[in-house]
Amino acid sequence: MSSVPLEVSRVQADKTVTLTSVPASSTQPLRSCVKSMLENYFNDLDGHEPGDLYEMVVREVEHPLLETVMVHTRGNQSKAAKMLGINRGTLRKKLKIHNLD
């Protein structure tokens, strides 16, 4: 079962929210970018075995995610943790790992 991406339209005056289907290709630039970079990574291996691929990708994506959320929440860790769906302790650990504390 595949999920259909939704575009959310908000109307401030009457608080109406409209959900409409959007073609998957137009809503997944991050996914496309990650996939393209991984394909380049595999092509550049030249027969060598890849390393800890999962951790490598998570580190690369997690840093800008945390950085952007912290800017958006003006450094409020409670709001940032809620937005990210993690607890504040986990957020603090991740911020420290990425030197964003």
Please report, for the domain that includes residue 41, its CATH number: 1.10.10.60
82 domain-assigned: yes
In whole angstroms, give the CA distance from residue 45 to residue 29: 24
Number of domains composing the chain: 1
Amino acid at 98: H
Asked if 7 and 22 touch (Cβ cutoff 8 Å), the reply is yes
Look at residue 6 and tell me if it is in a domain.
no
The residue with tokens 């409670």 is 78
What domain range is 59 assigned to?
Answer: 29-97
Residue with tokens 């998570």: 58
Is 58 a domain residue? yes
* Mean pLDDT, range 81-95, rounded to an integer: 97
CA distance 83 to 90: 13
Cβ contact 81:94 at 8 Å:
no
User: Does residue 22 sit within a domain?
Assistant: no
User: What are 8-64's pLDDT values in tens digits?
Assistant: 444 444 445 444 544 555 567 888 998 999 999 999 998 888 888 999 899 899 999
